Structure 1
Amino acid sequence: MCSSKHMQMHHNHQRSSTAASAMGDWREEAINRGSLKHVDLNTGSNGWAAPPGDHFSVRGPNYPTKKGKTPAGEWLLDPAGVDWIRSNGRLDNLLARRDNRVMNALRASKKSSETFIVAVNLQIPGREHHSVVFYFSSKEGEPISSNPLLNNFVNGSDEYRDSRFKIVNKIVKGPRILKTAVGRYSACLLGKAVSCCYHRGADYLEIDVDIGSSTVASAILRLALGCVKAVTVDLGFLVEGQTEEELPEKLFGAVRICQMEMSSAMFVDVAAPTATSNKVFPVDSDEH
Structure 2
Amino acid sequence: MSSFAGQESAEAAAWPYYAGSILPHDETEPSTGTGSWWELEDGTFNLRSKTYLDNKVKEPSAPAGFATISVTVIDSVGMLTELGKRLIPLRDFLAKEEGEFIVINRAVPVGGGRVQNIIIVGKRVLCVGEDPVFDRTWDRYKKGDDEYRNLRMKYLPKLRVAPWLVTSAIDLLGGQRPVIMGKGYLKQNNYSGDNWVEFDIDIASSKIANSIAGTIMGYCSSLVINEAFVVEGKEEDELPERMLIQHEFRKVDTGTASRPLKEGDYVRAEEEEK
Q: What is the Cα deviation at residue 116 of structure 1?
A: 1.4
* 1:29 positional shift: 4.4
The 5-angstrom pairing of residues 124-139 of structure 1 reads 124-127=108-111, 128-139=114-125
Q: Cα gap change, 1:273/1:253 in structure 2, threshold over 3 Å: closer, same or farther?
A: closer
Q: What is the aligned partner in structure 1 of residue 248 from structure 2?
A: 256
Whether contact under 8 Å (1:53, 1:73) holds in the other structure is: yes
CA distance in 2, matches of 1:31, 1:272: 15
Q: 199, 203, 209: which is aligned to 1:211? A: 203
How far 1:271 sits from its partner (Å)?
5.5
Distance in 1 of aligned mates of 2:126 and 2:233: 24
**Which residue of structure 2 aligns with residue 118 of structure 1?**
102
Q: Check whether the contact 1:88–1:129 (CA below 8 A) recurs between aligned residues.
A: yes
2:177 paired residue number:
186
Task: Name which of structure 1's ranges 242-251 and 224-233 shifts more when overlaid on structure 2.
Answer: 242-251
Offset of residue 190 of structure 1: 0.9
Q: By how many angstroms is 1:273 displaced? A: 4.9
Q: Are 1:91 and 1:270, in contact at CA under 8 Å, matched by a contact in 2?
A: no
Contact in 1 for aligned 2:38/2:248 (Cα 8 Å) = yes
Compare CA radii of gyration and give the structure with the larger one.
1
The 8 Å contact of residues 158 and 226 in structure 2, kept in 1 or not, is answered as yes
What is the Cα deviation at residue 119 of structure 1?
Answer: 1.1
- Aligned-residue identity in percent: 21
Q: Residue 65 of structure 1 corresponds to which residue in structure 2? A: 54
Q: Give, in whole Å, the separation in 1 of the partners of 2:169 and 2:233.
A: 25
Q: Aligned residue pairs: how many?
A: 247
How do residues 78-157 of structure 1 correspond to structure 2 at under 5 angstroms? 78-97=67-86, 99-101=88-90, 103-109=91-97, 111=98, 115-127=99-111, 128-139=114-125, 141-142=127-128, 147-157=135-145
Query: CA shift at 1:105, angstroms?
Result: 3.5
Residue in structure 1 matched with residue 258 of structure 2 by the alignment? 265
User: Partner residue of 1:169?
Assistant: 157
Give how far 1:141 is off. 4.0
- 1:216-248: CA deviation from partner (whole Å, max 9, x where unpaired): 111011000011111110110010111222112
Q: Which whole-Å CA distance do the structure 2 matches of 1:182 and 1:100 have between them? A: 35
Alignment TM-score, normalising by the size of structure 2: 0.81
The question of whether the paired residues in 2 share the 8 Å contact of 1:90 and 1:270 is answered with no
CA RMSD after TM alignment = 2.6
Contact 1:178–1:220 (CA under 8 A) maintained in structure 2: no
**Unaligned 5+ residue runs, structure 2?**
1-5, 268-274
Q: Which amino acid aligns with 1:124?
A: V
Unaligned runs of 5+ in 1: 1-19, 275-288
Counterparts of 1:256 and 1:31 in 2: how far apart (Å)?
A: 18
Residues 79 and 202 in structure 2, CA contact (< 8 A), matched pair in contact too: no
Residue in structure 2 matched with residue 38 of structure 1 by the alignment:
25
Shift of 1:270: 7.1
CA contact (8 A) 1:84 1:264 kept: yes
More displaced 10-residue stretch of structure 1: 189-198 or 81-90: 81-90
Q: Which has the higher helix share?
A: 1
Cα distance in 2 for partners of 1:130, 1:84 equals 6
**Aligned partners of 2:94 and 2:195 also within 8 Å:** no
TM-score (norm 1): 0.77
What are the Cα deviations for residues 98-125 of structure 1, in whole angstroms up to 9, with x where unaligned?
5334x4334334x2xxx11111110111
The verdict on how the C-alpha distance between 1:175 and 1:253 changes in structure 2, with shifts beyond 3 A counting, is same
Residue 206 of structure 1: how far off its partner (Å): 1.0
Partner SS, residue 37 of structure 1? coil
Q: Distance in 1 between matches of 2:46 and 2:264?
A: 40
**Contact between 1:89 and 1:270, CA under 8 Å: does it hold in 2?**
no
Task: Indicate the residue corresponding to 1:195 in structure 2.
Answer: 187
CA distance in 2, matches of 1:69, 1:220: 27
